[in-house]
Structure formats: C-alpha cells, structure tokens
Amino acid sequence: MISVQQQDFNQQSEYERLRCQSSIGAIVTFTGLVRDINDGYSVSDLCLEHYPGMTEKSLMNIVEQAKSRWNIIASTVIHRVGQLSINDQIVFVGIASQHRGDAFAACEFIMDYLKTEAPFWKKETMESGESKWVDARESDHKTRSKWVM
Amino acid sequence: MITVLFFAKLSEQLGVKSLQVDWQQAQDVDQLFQYLTEYKKEWSVTLTSQPCLRAVNQEMVTNNIKLKAGDEVAFFPPVTGG
C-alpha cells in the first residue's frame, strides 16, 4: 500500500494491516517525525510540497526494487504532505516478511531511496518566523550508495 | 506544446509553477533548459546557480533526451522528503 496524504496515520492500524498472513514471521516499521531542531536552529513548523503523480510513481518504483531484492509479503509506505507541526508523523514504512533480515533491510532500503529520489521538499518555519527550504544532505546520498550492487 | 513544471524553491524563485513551451523551442531537455534560461532576464542565474534535477513524464532523467509534443518536463531542487 502506498499513500501520499495530508492526514495523520495510526501506527497500530498500519501494523495490523501488515499482519495479514500466517507466513509472516517479522514486521519492521519505521516512522519519521518533525524534529524541533535542524542544522542548529529551532524549527516551529514544516510544510511539505510534492509532485503529485510522480511522487506515487516514484514510491511504487522504490518498493518494486525492494521486492526484487528481498522477500516481502506485505508493504506500506505513507508520506504526509502539507502543513505539519513539531513531533508530527511525516513518513511510515512497514515491511512484513518471513524473516527479520529481509524486513530490516527492505525497510532501510526504502527509506534511503525515498530520501534521495521521491519528489518531496520540506520548507521549515523557524521560531523567528522566517522560513527556509531545507537543503538536500550529501550524507543521504552516501547512505543510499551502500545499496548499489 | 510541452508542459513545464517547477517545484519548491525553484518555483518560488522563478515566480511560476508551470508554463507551456512550443515544442519547436524544445526538442530535447537541454534545449528546453537553454530556452528557459533565456525566458526572462533573471531566470538564467536562478536556473544555473543551483542544482536542478529534471523529470520527463514524471521520471527522473540524468541524460539529455528527445521530447515530443504533449510531454511534461519538471525542474526541481534535490529532494528533501522523509
């Protein structure tokens, strides 16, 4: 399941949705939140812009790549867009597999690729009231490069 | 026509989210980019002074590729989701 949405998501319902088959032996989930400090300055809220259409395609493509590398029985990727506040949930990735190795790896792979390929952009509003587009991090590209076969 | 889209910081700096360009002016992505740098006086600096990713019909491209009428080409800064 892939969803790009404004509304919040519920961890428990997403987990229960993944727990759908008797062959599942492991579920790994990741949740990204809005942090109050970025690059040393205080953040008061966040606005997430995306490229409707391409975003969904890009997430689907990332999940397909993960499915071709690991045994995945069920998967969920939810990414929120629009106005978010400190501590709000931004992104959820959940992977159900037979074994934990596949679930851990696929979950991390999807997040690493999402960070560098899916067309989302964050604009932070600082406590001063000033707003600023977040710059991409070189470290995210380095992290992703470890998956290149 | 080619539909051109801009996102995030780039769209804010250029002051436009989308525009239509005659295919004659933009037969491939590089040619389209060149056309856009000359579209308005300040666009050249905005488009060339920062990293600018490209997508054709909603797929990221790194090489120059041929365009056809009806294509959707997007330009945007490196992504920062997650």
pLDDT digits (tens, 9 = 90+) for B35-73: 999 999 899 999 999 999 999 999 999 999 999 999 999
- Asked whether residue B81 is domain-assigned, the answer is no
3-state secondary structure of A44: strand
- Asked whether residue B82 is domain-assigned, the answer is no
- Asked whether residue B70 is domain-assigned, the answer is yes
| Chain A to chain B Cβ contacts (< 8 Å) | 73
Cα–Cα distance for residue pair A111/A114, rounded to 1 Å:
5
Structure token pair of residue A86: 């400190």
List CB contacts (< 8 A) between A109 and chain B: none
- Asked whether residue B30 is domain-assigned, the answer is yes
List CB contacts (< 8 A) between A133 and chain B: 8-9, 12, 77, 80
**Partners of B53 in the beta sheet?**
B76
**Partners of A33 in the beta sheet?**
A89
Helix (H) or strand (E) holding B61: strand B59-61
Torsion, Cα of A136, A110, A90, A4 (10° steps): 100
- Is A54's CB within 8 Å of B80's CB? no
**In this predicted structure, what is the pLDDT of residue A40?**
82
Contact B21, B4 (CB under 8 A): yes
> Does the pTM exceed 0.90?
yes
Range of the domain at B39: 2-76
Nearest CA in chain B to A137: B80
Count of structural domains within chain B: 1
Q: Is B52 on the interface with A (CB under 8 A)?
A: no
> What CATH number is attached to the domain comprising B36?
3.10.20.30
- Is B76's CB within 8 Å of A134's CB? no
Which A residues 51-110 touch B at CB under 8 Å? 51, 53-54, 57-58, 79, 90-91
Q: What are the mean pLDDT values of chain A's consecutive 10-residue runs (149 residues total)?
A: 98 96 97 90 93 98 98 98 97 98 98 97 93 91 87
**Residue reference for tokens 């295919």:** B23
pLDDT digits (tens, 9 = 90+) for A96-114: 999 999 999 999 999 999 9
Q: Which domains, ranges and CATH numbers included, belong to chain A? A: 2-139 (3.90.1170.40)
